[in-house]
Amino acid sequence: MVNCLIVGHGAREHVIGESLVKGGANLYAYMSFKNAGLEDLSKDVKIHSEMDFREIIKFAKDKNIDFAIIGPEAPLCVGIVDALEKGGIPCASPKIEAAQLEGSKIFMRQLLTKFNIQSNVMSKRFSSMEGVKNYIDEIGEENIVVKPDGLTGGKGVMVFGDHLFSKKDIIDYCQELVDKRSPFLLEEKLDGEEFTLQTFVDGKNVIPSPLVQDHKRAYENDEGPNTGGMGSYSMEDHLMPFITQEDVDIALEDMRKTVKVLKVETGAEYKGLLYGQFMKTAKGLKIIEYNARGGDPEVMNILPLLKTNFVDVCWAMINGNLNTLNIEFEKKATVCKYLAPEGYPVSPKRDEPVKINKKKLENIGAKYYYASVYREGENIYTTTSRAMGILGIADNLEEAEKISEKGVGCVEGKLFHRKDVGTLKLLQKRIDHMNSILLK
């Protein structure tokens, strides 16, 4: 049997761990705090910093790990895979240079610009205030997005109209970044509908999974502050009603080109899950960002549908032979709703008990993934981030949404969720928005 190590502590890692176990692996989990789901699935766990590579290598060697997969971006972007591989542990995740597609937005845009990738977005790099005002005037203040270069946990990107409301706001934010010595991009603001395309990559081959749409705003009807994502859905035909197969082909083609030119430019082969976030706009398909990992929550929408053995997929990503596998997904719809502590993301109520009726969840047929909750004895408690992902899978979106919503009803605590994620009403709003943009 193969011994697999998962690094990370959230719902994303829980579903990855579940898929490895389903594929026949002995699972070992290394995490900064105890995910109850991973603990239940694993032969053994270690609770320690996910940035302490020496400890991770020690744990992996001790457990005779055959390969590792890394969930979160922070260790990926500072070279966890390089360290583990030097220690003799192969990884189904990207090395540091490849992970810069997520770790440096400036690197990503410059690479796409240099090689004329068609879904690229107009942008310019700054590390001082010199030229900032001119650039704002050139593209118009209402068309500006400010993006700090490094990882910001989804909190650094500021969009005109959402977070910035005047030229002064833009300049003040740029000045704040200059004062922090953080280089940044000024990028053209786009309008459209976003979707996520997650792929398996082995250095050359880029294999797609069903499209997913995430919901960033905290409250129903896309109101309230931005979050890590309050839920996500996918459709039984693996597309979105407002995204055609042609759109997906363009997105996939650009992801393939990116992997290719990354190697040309840096010598680095991209291996692992590669997440592309795209926006369909009146000007065509545009790439918003790459993530060097599975999406959270979006990976919960795809891995449970994977018909191919995930352990085999990981080996193929490591060995560069994904082309020898027939990667298939069930033709089903999924809806994932995140339960978050009351007050999240501004002032989340932490250390509150969460009661889960597992029997009822199983009867309903809903799957559940532990996110940022911890277990003490038999009890589960909230932290300051999203608590649990509840997933419904069915032949169509309506049924999947019902299962997910009923599943949410099996969890008690000072929690809230977005009832509208995956509903036909919200889907129609997306379709109408897309149509209005394309008609402009």
Question: Residues interacting with ligand AMP, by CB under 6 A?
Answer: 121, 145, 154, 157, 159, 187-190, 194, 216, 277, 288-289
Give the whole-angstrom CA distance, residue 7 versus residue 117.
32
Mention every residue, 6+ apart, whose C-beta is less than 8 A from residue 334: 210, 233, 234, 300, 301, 304, 305, 391, 392, 393, 400
Stretch that binds ligand GLY, among 264-272, 288-296, 339-347, 404-412 (CB under 6 A): 288-296
Mention every residue, 6+ apart, whose C-beta is less than 8 A from residue 199: 206, 207, 208, 209, 252, 255, 273, 274, 275, 276
Which positions from 227 through 266 interact with ligand GLY, judged by CB under 6 A?
Answer: 229
Among 10, 23, 295, 422, binds ligand GLY (CB under 6 A): 295
State the nearest-atom distance from the C-beta of 133 to ligand GLY, in Å. Answer: 31
- Contacts with ligand GLY by CB under 6 A: the residue count is 6
What 3-state DSSP class applies to 213? strand
Strands 67-70 and 3-7: parallel
Q: Is 194 in the site for ligand GLY (CB under 6 A)?
A: no
Sign of CA dihedral 158, 425, 302, 325: negative
Interaction partner, residue 288 (ligand AMP, ligand GLY, none; CB < 5-8 Å by kind): ligand AMP
Stretch that binds ligand GLY, among 40-48, 219-227, 289-297, 422-430 (CB under 6 A): 289-297
State the nearest-atom distance from the C-beta of 306 to ligand AMP, in Å. Answer: 25
Give the whole-angstrom CA distance, residue 341 versus residue 411.
12
Give the whole-angstrom CA distance, residue 94 versus residue 107.
16
Give the whole-angstrom CA distance, residue 395 versus residue 210.
14
Token representation of residue 286: 């545009």
Stretch that binds ligand GLY, among 49-57, 131-139, 290-298, 339-347 (CB under 6 A): 290-298
Q: Which residue, 76 or 157, is less far from ligand AMP as judged by CB?
A: 157
Q: Is 214 in the site for ligand GLY (CB under 6 A)?
A: yes
State the nearest-atom distance from the C-beta of 134 to ligand GLY, in Å. Answer: 32
State the nearest-atom distance from the C-beta of 428 to ligand AMP, in Å. Answer: 20
4 touches 26 (CB < 8 A): yes
State the nearest-atom distance from the C-beta of 187 to ligand AMP, in Å. Answer: 5
Binding region for ligand GLY (CB under 6 A): 214, 229, 291, 295-296, 298
